[in-house]
A and B are shown apart, each in its own frame.
Chain A
């Protein structure tokens, strides 16, 4: 056994202090985010069932399609997406900057306020008081409150970066810092130009602003946070450096340059300047470039340690997320081609693509980060590898169902059906029936997966996880495993430097 040198011990202690300082806010964001994800998927399932069985839950007027659908998307974006991202941002930035968080109380309070606003907003949408604007369905006062609350969550990560130890800035920090600045820019611009400046409303301006807002939030907030997480998890779990740092930086700048131009391709044919529509379609195709950079880097880094790839839940989810990003951008590129837009612009393909991005790419990376972070901040290991495995496979089945069956095949079929001018709208809707059933099936898979994840995470929050020195791996432990034989945390021998590498 190697001896533990003093700097290693000090670093271990510092990391433990950072984890302890962020335990409550990070766990709060992850746990409440997971609950919102479950609520969102439940509402999404209801909305999906209503597309092929309109009488389902028809006794409750507040659960009609026009309300459950925006409530589902709002809960997914602001309840799950934003909160999972906040948890990852504040933990990762503190860890990489080697800085304890000194204001965890303020972050925790802001987190509670954020949840309250999301809850009120969701109730407003379900009671018919939503704005009806896609991805900004909450009433304006709630949106403004969310933006202000974000400041009190995000600013401490910026401060941690500014007072960081050491000179090197990791690629994950690049992405995190960019996401921290891009989020207020995108949300404030979307909110002001899409809602606040319009008074009695201008349908074209709202539609155009919202089209940009949706793409910008996806590519300038959710994508960089997921990429930061992937660039941290892959080298950390494999114990190898990032395959190509130059490629990682190239991918970052490609995203920063191309990302803000997307979104207007959804307005093809609308009375806005034509160059904006075609520029956005071009940008949607070019987004494949940063996706390929991320994919190559993560896959090559993960492939350098195949054992870790086979056994680590964090790495498995992260690699699946990197694949998800490539598939998501490729699908987006195909759907944005002017010849394909004829079929996809007004069809279910757009909603399916958003789900593919938010669930198949962003959420997978967030799950990877959560499986990595939670044992460190709770000082407990995940209870069951089987539950993690079930979560992974059920989620994969669900998202593959949605991406292939609903988004791609269903999207093009819907577009084709709408193009048949001699056909009645009922007949063209009838063509959608199998794909709507497919979406519901996908949602059911996702619901089971999230039920597993939620229960597991809440057990961990209650500190009911295993007290062990073994991470929970996706295979049975054996003496030949790299972590050695199973043992109890209380009977630990002093750890060597390899074991404390995380």
Chain B
């Protein structure tokens, strides 16, 4: 059988290290793609939805406070809820007493 010209120690040695290098290249390529090419800006769907909810809440609170501000219509006066806190607190602190208004349906 004729001698095999391809089979040399140098070729075997080369192939081993080229194989090893290629093996490492796969890992290095992944690392490069991840860290230098891939855009790592994260889109978090939960965060986005949360931000929309906060904006909505701010808008609702703003409109609500506008509706609940001081207003005078005829003899009626609308006060903001915070203005009534002190009066409500006083009322809560007093003893309950008969208002004289019947609550029973059978009252005639």
- A192 partner residues in chain B, CB cutoff 8 A: 27, 30-31, 34
Specify the chain A residue showing the minimal Cβ separation from B6: A163
Q: B70 interface residue, CB < 8 Å from A? A: no
Give chain A interface residues in 124-176, CB to chain B under 8 Å. 151, 154-155, 158-159, 162-165
Chain B nearest CB from A110 CB (Å) reads 14
Chain B nearest CB from A158 CB (Å) reads 5
Specify the chain A residue showing the minimal Cβ separation from B30: A192
Q: A271 interface residue, CB < 8 Å from B? A: yes
Q: A188 interface residue, CB < 8 Å from B? A: yes
Q: B36 interface residue, CB < 8 Å from A? A: no
Given A162-B6, A162-B11, A163-B11, list of 20 further CB < 8 A pairs? A10-B1, A98-B4, A99-B7, A151-B20, A151-B23, A154-B19, A155-B15, A155-B16, A155-B19, A155-B20, A158-B15, A159-B15, A162-B12, A163-B4, A163-B6, A163-B12, A165-B7, A189-B30, A192-B34, A271-B45
- B104 partner residues in chain A, CB cutoff 8 A: none
Specify the chain B residue showing the minimal Cβ separation from A164: B6
> Which of A14, A98, A99, A162: most chain B Cβ within 10 A?
A162
Q: B26 interface residue, CB < 8 Å from A? A: yes
Interface majority SS (helix, strand, loop, mixed), chain B: helix
* Contact of B19 with A163 in the complex, beta carbons under 8 Å: no
- A14 partner residues in chain B, CB cutoff 8 A: 1
> How far is A7 from B2 in the complex, measured between Cα atoms in Å?
10
Q: Bin the interface of chain B by size.
A: 10 to 19
Specify the chain B residue showing the minimal Cβ separation from A11: B1
Q: A193 interface residue, CB < 8 Å from B? A: yes
What are 14 A-to-B residue pairs whose CB atoms are below 8 Å?
A14-B1, A155-B19, A155-B20, A162-B11, A163-B4, A163-B6, A163-B7, A163-B15, A181-B22, A188-B27, A192-B31, A193-B30, A193-B34, A271-B45
Q: B8 interface residue, CB < 8 Å from A? A: yes
> How far is A181 from B25 in the complex, measured between Cα atoms in Å?
12
Shortest 7 CB-CB contacts between residues of A and residues of B: A163-B7, A192-B30, A188-B26, A162-B15, A10-B1, A155-B19, A159-B15
> How far is A350 from B33 in the complex, measured between Cα atoms in Å?
30
- A181 partner residues in chain B, CB cutoff 8 A: 22
Q: A185 interface residue, CB < 8 Å from B? A: yes
- B4 partner residues in chain A, CB cutoff 8 A: 98, 163-165
- B6 partner residues in chain A, CB cutoff 8 A: 162-165
* B interface, CB within 8 angstroms of A: 1, 4, 6-8, 11-12, 15-16, 19-20, 22-23, 26-27, 30-31, 34, 45
Chain B nearest CB from A206 CB (Å) reads 14
Chain A nearest CB from B60 CB (Å) reads 29
Specify the chain B residue showing the minimal Cβ separation from A180: B19
- B15 partner residues in chain A, CB cutoff 8 A: 155, 158-159, 162-163
Q: A253 interface residue, CB < 8 Å from B? A: no
> How far is A271 from B15 in the complex, measured between Cα atoms in Å?
43
- A99 partner residues in chain B, CB cutoff 8 A: 7
Q: A197 interface residue, CB < 8 Å from B? A: yes
Specify the chain A residue showing the minimal Cβ separation from B3: A165
- A159 partner residues in chain B, CB cutoff 8 A: 12, 15-16, 19
> How far is A324 from B78 in the complex, measured between Cα atoms in Å?
82
> How far is A165 from B23 in the complex, measured between Cα atoms in Å?
26
Chain B nearest CB from A202 CB (Å) reads 9
- B16 partner residues in chain A, CB cutoff 8 A: 155, 159
> How far is A7 from B26 in the complex, measured between Cα atoms in Å?
43
Chain A nearest CB from B19 CB (Å) reads 5
Specify the chain A residue showing the minimal Cβ separation from B27: A188
Specify the chain B residue showing the minimal Cβ separation from A166: B4
- B23 partner residues in chain A, CB cutoff 8 A: 151, 184, 188
Give chain A interface residues in 88-117, CB to chain B under 8 Å. 98-99
> Given A11-B1, A151-B20 in contact, is the A163-B30 Cβ separation under 8 Å?
no
- A98 partner residues in chain B, CB cutoff 8 A: 4
Chain A nearest CB from B64 CB (Å) reads 35
Specify the chain B residue showing the minimal Cβ separation from A162: B15
* Contact of B8 with A163 in the complex, beta carbons under 8 Å: yes
* Contact of B1 with A185 in the complex, beta carbons under 8 Å: no
- A155 partner residues in chain B, CB cutoff 8 A: 15-16, 19-20
> How far is A7 from B1 in the complex, measured between Cα atoms in Å?
7
> How far is A98 from B3 in the complex, measured between Cα atoms in Å?
12
Chain B nearest CB from A391 CB (Å) reads 36
Chain A nearest CB from B43 CB (Å) reads 9
Give chain A interface residues in 302-345, CB to chain B under 8 Å. none
* Contact of B12 with A185 in the complex, beta carbons under 8 Å: no
> How far is A197 from B23 in the complex, measured between Cα atoms in Å?
18
> How far is A162 from B6 in the complex, measured between Cα atoms in Å?
8
